[in-house]
Amino acid sequence: MTTILAIAGLVIKELYRRKDFYVLLVMTVVITAVSWLMNFFGENNIVRLLKSICLMLIWISALVIAVVTTARQIPAERESRTIFPLLAKPVTRRQVLMGKFLGCWLACGIALVVFYLFFGIVTATREHLAVTELIKGFWLQWVMLAIVIGLALLGSIVFAAPSSNSTICFVVVGGILFLGGHLGQVAMHLTEPGRTIVYAVYFLIPHLEWYNQREALVNDRALAAWSYCALATAYAAVYVAALLQATWLVFRRKTLNV
């Protein structure tokens, strides 16, 4: 566990040394501030548009940080050949993967805390802040990012370059977020064998759309109860475990020379 935590620590240090996070944070703050200054019919307390823009930027930023940070982990180690001294120590390939995953997930968590603090401040200046709902929204998004990181880590072993891996991850995650929940309804209207294929995809993919609680947070609706959040967390844990196992199966016999 100490080895995994040490590797994870290095990944977290990398996040705050690189400029991606700061650029995305500044972009979110600037765009939200510009939206703040907009005046609509002399109404000064309009908050939902502001929350909607801010949360959308947080979602985009978090996805970019998760995918881009994860996608370059293993390829960068291989390219700079630092993977060899790392594996020469008593560190197994499984520990490297676990460390990279944990590091990326914790790094995303840290970034997300900063983003949600900003969102909380923006909301609190114009209306009552529902802290519990905000924490639920944060938790669900962070859990979803674990699946995304698992997917990007598997992609970083399978695909040749981090750029292609990132692009494929964005397409897959975007596709699931926008269409994943509707595939069941689409399948019902299809004929065989299309119906079976679409149903198979529907039951196989991780349903990331459950974790997207933007609409509820923007419109002051109650989010799912904690018990359902716990079940969704367990569901995500199963997918993360499966993705990490698949990554390890590919990685354990992978030639490390570039």
User: Which residues contribute to the site for another protein (CB under 8 A)?
Assistant: 38, 40-43, 45-49, 140, 181-182, 184-186, 202-203, 207, 209-211, 213, 215-216, 218-221, 223-225, 228, 231-232
For Cα atoms 44, 48, 50, give the angle at the middle one, nearest 5 degrees: 75
Question: 225 or 238, CB closer to another protein?
Answer: 225
Question: 8 or 148, CB closer to another protein?
Answer: 148
Output the smallest distance, CB 252 to another protein, in A: 32
Output the smallest distance, CB 150 to another protein, in A: 19
How many whole angstroms separate alpha carbon 173 and alpha carbon 159?
Answer: 17
How many whole angstroms separate alpha carbon 242 and alpha carbon 94?
Answer: 14
Output the smallest distance, CB 224 to another protein, in A: 4
Output the smallest distance, CB 1 to another protein, in A: 33
Q: Annotate 178-220 with DSSP letters as a single string.
A: HHGGGHHHHHHTPPTTHHHHHHHHHHHS--GGGG--HHHHHTT
Q: Are 100 and 15 in contact (CB under 8 A)?
A: no
256 phi, psi to nearest 5 deg:
-95, -10
Question: 29 or 224, CB closer to another protein?
Answer: 224
Question: 45 or 191, CB closer to another protein?
Answer: 45
Question: 31 or 91, CB closer to another protein?
Answer: 31
Question: 168 or 186, CB closer to another protein?
Answer: 186
Query: For residue 59, what are the CA distances in angstroms to 45, 96, 131?
Result: 24, 28, 19
Output the smallest distance, CB 57 to another protein, in A: 16
Output the smallest distance, CB 169 to another protein, in A: 22
How many whole angstroms separate alpha carbon 83 and alpha carbon 96?
Answer: 9
Q: Are 233 and 143 in contact (CB under 8 A)?
A: yes
Cis peptide upstream of residue 193 (ω within 30 degrees of 0): yes
